[in-house]
Amino acid sequence: MADYRIDHAAHLIDLHDAQVLDVLGPTIQFLTGTTDDAAPCIMRGTIPPGATAPLHSHPDPETYIAISGPLEGFSTAGRWVRIAPGETFHVPPGAKHAFRNAGAEPCVAVVITTARLGRFFQEIGRPLNAGPPSADVVARCLETALRYGHWNGSPEQNAAIGIKPPAAA
């Protein structure tokens, strides 16, 4: 009989035990791990009302499947698109993109990406209820993004598409 280790066995993921991090406003809940580069990293992303993920790009693909709430994505075509629950928004490697929630309720999506991008979120993420990010936290996030090969839009580039990046406390 085969030896099935728990990390290689089919199993239900206990959401109460899944790591949740604040990523400068939006939160990421890890549904799978980030250690196996051959496996996808699957997360639940939540963007609170009024929050954004500013304009950026990275070498890793991301796919968002909207679950609930008023999620909007900025597409490479240079416009905002509404991502309704059940719809999928794909971000190829290197594509500039952003997200926002202009509604009154949180928007939630399943995020499928690489273990490498998951590790990036683990590096920049903070515990829930950590409060607004300080200037040092924002600077560390931007330095980490550069180390991972990410590009981040300037305040002017973000303003041009109608969003304001998170302010430092």
Q: Give pLDDT tens digits along the chain (169 positions).
A: 444 455 678 888 888 888 999 999 999 999 999 999 999 999 999 999 999 999 999 999 999 999 999 999 999 888 999 999 999 999 999 999 999 999 999 999 999 999 999 999 999 999 999 989 999 999 999 999 999 999 999 999 999 999 975 555 4
* Chain-centre distance for alpha carbon 55: 12
Whether the model pTM is above 0.85: yes
| 4, part of any domain | no
Q: Could you tell me which of 18, 23, 57, 24 has the C-alpha nearest to residue 41?
A: 18
| 63, part of any domain | yes
| 1, part of any domain | no
What is the four-CA torsion angle of 126, 121, 80, 135, rounded to 10 degrees? 40
Number of domains in the chain: 1
67 lies in which domain range? 12-159
Q: Tell me, what's the pLDDT at 4?
A: 44
Q: Tell me, what's the pLDDT at 167?
A: 58
For residue 71, give the CATH number of its domain: 2.60.120.10
| 71, part of any domain | yes
69-72 contacts, C-beta under 8 A, 24 or more apart: 69/101, 69/103, 69/105, 69/106, 69/107, 69/108, 70/101, 70/102, 70/103, 70/105, 70/107, 71/47, 71/99, 71/101, 71/107, 71/109, 72/99, 72/100, 72/101, 72/102
Q: Tell me, what's the pLDDT at 1?
A: 44
| 168, part of any domain | no
